[in-house]
Amino acid sequence: MSVDAFLDRCRAIVGAGFVLDTPGDMAPFLRDWRGRFTGAARAVLRPGSVDEVAQLVRACADARVPIVPQGGNTGLVLGSVPDAGGTAVVLSLTRLNRIRAIDAVNRTITVDAGAVLQHVQQAALDAGCLFPLSLAAEGSCTIGGNLSTNAGGTAVLRYGNTRELCLGLEVVTAQGELWSGLRGLRKDNTGYDLRDLYIGAEGTLGIITGAVMKLYPLPKASITALAALPSPAHALQLLSLAQDRAGASLTGFELISEYCLELVATHFPQLPRPFATTHPQYALLEISSNESEAHGVALLEGTIAAAIDAGIVVDAVVATSVAQSRGLWALREHIPLAQAADGKNIKHDISLPVSTIASFIAHTEPLLQQAFPGCRLVCFGHLGDGNLHFNVAPPHGIGHEAFLANQANVNRLVHDTVVAYGGSISAEHGIGALKRDELARYKSPVELNLMRAVKAALDPHNIMNPGKIL
């Protein structure tokens, strides 16, 4: 089939206005979120219904045209943009953006894959429920993209990753068939777990078009504290103590190094510094209470007091108002912005067994200093999940762009050490095209072969997002 005939078939399915093929129309769909890469495509297809998605996939399957499924295109690993070859189409799900149903008693919300995360959060809130998935791109990213990358975010400690928030899926297979697995059940042991196979598959096995997601009771209050600590090892002790005392009420636990706060103070001097003196490390704790604000405050204050008594915490600030609480979270949220203002650095999205984090940092920082003298470590992250953003900035006096020449070597050192510690080279961002070679390097041949067998079984013509993951 000629390219023209294929595009005509697509136009017949979705209407000519939803097949974009000029460079100007296609540009926003081809550019990666961080602006590092721009791919090429035959066209961008914008279906308006699940049935149109299925028809388009059948058209692509017949013509053997590769498909790059795309949601909000906010991914960080080049998973949602096409390569430079120009043979693929982008299939954008953003027109499928309805909240299909909400069931406050079953505590579920059923949504189109293209629904924007923030709209889903708001729809839940309007029904008096919490949809806990929350991350920096929530104003643009879509649930389909969150599911396809198994997104993490700031509430994983309590509520899990996107995978744990999903009960049912609707998927258009690589053959263009519709699998209706939109079940809203907490227990269902009827055959293979296809749902979790499509979740995190980054669009390489099929296209998620809808999902049933879990909702939770809305906490009455969330209380925040910032604790100053002598070391990451003390942060681990504080985490254990807080979990023992608060259980599931501990909804956030972030590690922040002094250098991170220094960066924030340099680039955002208007933000308050919570302590008069500096400390090597800080932990941001959040306690949520379904009972009352007073209960949450007492629980958090009791936890901090016990940690001070035990010699774990040196100093602490407990936010006594919503504004103060937002101020503490603002310090954490401005770290990536301060880094960006400081200049480009070499990023790692790693996870480790929580118990090894202090020794991992103590082991890896000197290795980095030895290999790249004077380099600055920007280390922060979701300690409760074992997830660190372990970023390396150039030494003072060396340009950020020049230092990026070391990227491959810095990645190698960090990733080798992560794997030696039993960790993961991609905690929450996925593999995409960016980390495909790293995956091939670190996964065992047995695991790679199992993945290839699954891929070949569900996408025999290799049209679903080829070149991503595998």
* Choices 146-154, 311-319, 360-368, 395-403; region in contact with a second copy by CB under 8 A: 146-154
Q: Which two tokens stand for residue 233?
A: 């090892």
Look at residues 257, 254, 423, 235 and name the one whose alpha carbon lies nearest to residue 329.
Answer: 254
Look at residues 383, 462, 469, 433 and name the one whose alpha carbon lies nearest to residue 83.
Answer: 433
Look at residues 189, 183, 188 and name the one whose alpha carbon lies nearest to residue 213.
Answer: 183
d(CA 14, CA 412): 45
> What residues from 380 to 399 belong to the interface with a second copy (CB under 8 A)?
382, 384-387
φ/ψ region of 424 (left if φ > 0, alpha if ψ in -120 to 50, else beta) reads beta
Q: Which of 222, 345, 351, 364 binds a second copy (CB under 8 A)?
A: 351
Cβ of residue 403: shortest distance to a second copy, in angstroms? 26
Residue 427 lies near a second copy (rule: CB under 8 A): yes
Q: Which is nearer to a second copy, 239 or 314 (CB)?
A: 239
Residue 456 lies near a second copy (rule: CB under 8 A): yes
Cβ of residue 179: shortest distance to a second copy, in angstroms? 5
Q: Which two tokens stand for residue 22?
A: 């000029």
Cβ of residue 140: shortest distance to a second copy, in angstroms? 19
Q: Which two tokens stand for residue 184?
A: 């809203």
Q: Which of 259, 443, 462, 467 binds a second copy (CB under 8 A)?
A: 443
Look at residues 358, 333, 355 and name the one whose alpha carbon lies nearest to residue 153.
Answer: 333
> What residues from 272 to 331 belong to the interface with a second copy (CB under 8 A)?
288-291, 299
Q: Which is nearer to a second copy, 272 or 422 (CB)?
A: 422
* Choices 6-14, 253-261, 365-373, 436-444; region in contact with a second copy by CB under 8 A: 436-444
Look at residues 209, 210, 211, 206 and name the one whose alpha carbon lies nearest to residue 175.
Answer: 206
Residue 184 lies near a second copy (rule: CB under 8 A): yes
Q: Which is nearer to a second copy, 7 or 255 (CB)?
A: 255
Residue 214 lies near a second copy (rule: CB under 8 A): no
Residue 457 lies near a second copy (rule: CB under 8 A): yes
d(CA 316, CA 274): 9
Residue 431 lies near a second copy (rule: CB under 8 A): yes
Residue 249 lies near a second copy (rule: CB under 8 A): yes
Q: Could you identify the residue written with the tokens 């914008």?
A: 46
Mark 93-132 with x for binding to a second copy (rule: CB under 8 A) and - for no binding. ----------xxxxxx------------------------
Q: Which two tokens stand for residue 40?
A: 């090429």
Q: Which of 217, 311, 343, 374 binds a second copy (CB under 8 A)?
A: 217
In 174-205, beta strands by DSSP E? 178-181
Cβ of residue 315: shortest distance to a second copy, in angstroms? 24
Q: Which of 72, 219, 252, 274 binds a second copy (CB under 8 A)?
A: 219
* Choices 9-17, 67-75, 368-376, 423-431; region in contact with a second copy by CB under 8 A: 423-431
Under DSSP, is residue 91 helix (H, G, I), strand (E, B) or coil?
strand
> What residues from 50 to 89 belong to the interface with a second copy (CB under 8 A)?
none
Q: Which is nearer to a second copy, 32 or 42 (CB)?
A: 32
Half-sphere exposure for 115 (CA within 13 Å, toward CB):
24
Residue 334 lies near a second copy (rule: CB under 8 A): no
Q: Which is nearer to a second copy, 6 or 131 (CB)?
A: 131
Cβ of residue 370: shortest distance to a second copy, in angstroms? 27
Q: Which of 92, 209, 426, 465 binds a second copy (CB under 8 A)?
A: 426
- Count of positions on this chain that bind a second copy (CB under 8 A): 96
φ/ψ (deg, to 5) at 259: -60, -35
DSSP H or E run through 43: strand 43-45
Q: Which two tokens stand for residue 310?
A: 């035990």
Residue 248 lies near a second copy (rule: CB under 8 A): yes
Start-to-end C-alpha separation, the chain: 28
Q: Which of 359, 398, 451, 467 binds a second copy (CB under 8 A)?
A: 451
Residue 437 lies near a second copy (rule: CB under 8 A): no
d(CA 246, CA 332): 22
Return the CA Rg of the chain: 23
Q: Which is nearer to a second copy, 359 or 369 (CB)?
A: 359
d(CA 313, CA 157): 21
Residue 281 to residues 203, 235, 340, 379, 430: CA-CA distances in angstroms?
A: 39, 8, 21, 10, 28
Query: DSSP string covering 210-225, please?
Result: EEEEE-EEPPSEEEEE
> What residues from 152 to 181 belong to the interface with a second copy (CB under 8 A)?
152, 156, 158, 160-161, 163-164, 173, 177-181
